[in-house]
Structure 1
């Protein structure tokens, strides 16, 4: 089920990210907990999550989810932060006006706010093929992440897609 996180840092980050395209940002917790596959070399570490009935309902804005194996890279918290900075600097189909200093601050602040110590240990899946969902597959430029915070059993599904 969706889990609300009310943080001004999150609102500011999502607002700025919205300049790069349409944003889907959902925090989710499931009972029982849905974890990534234990085999990190697995071709489908997110299969249980993506095909969970509650996920399908809570992430309806992503449209149809592909049944094909997902191409992904795993990132730690610092790599995730850097990747978010990169999106803010790159923008969507058109260049963004966010400065490097501002992008670094926004990305660092949002992760510190939503994953504060001692809950800052993350396993992040960056989806490397936009065909995983209808939302991203229809876009010209898209970025998608599934961040897993195991101590709280919390998922952050973050996707931005620009169709211009």
Structure 2
């Protein structure tokens, strides 16, 4: 038996989810993976679950007032980035030198290779200025195009391209210093 909510548009689901738990669950299932990827790439996998929970609690609180002027995914990206920025701001009192020592360069045979690389990338992303981190994350992790990123962040298209270019260069340099080979 198919799910009666699976065929509904995002806006229809949002309107129903304000008073229907099943419709809200469908929204969460559709969007939670993307929210988690964005949060994990910004604040690390350890804090990503908390960010996802915070984002969907915010969605639930806002269901009755969501007007649909922007796509739900755009709204969720913005809320996710705001929650990540709040968490990173709280962490800011920790010096970069206090960050855990990175492991030796990975060996493809090691079981934790992918997790190690993800943690290094998350650490590298945290060293970027907020605007660059957002732009790079939205492009590389969320797969948004430059115009979507410009709309979401309120920045000019050229500014978005510049932030991504500078962010990628800084990440490449940081990762090379950390022993990650391209």
Question: TM-score when scaled to structure 2?
Answer: 0.25
Relative contact order (alpha carbons < 8 A, sep ≥ 6): 1 or 2 greater?
1
Question: TM-score when scaled to structure 1?
Answer: 0.26
Q: Whose helix fraction is larger, Structure 1's or Structure 2's?
A: 2
Larger radius of gyration: 2
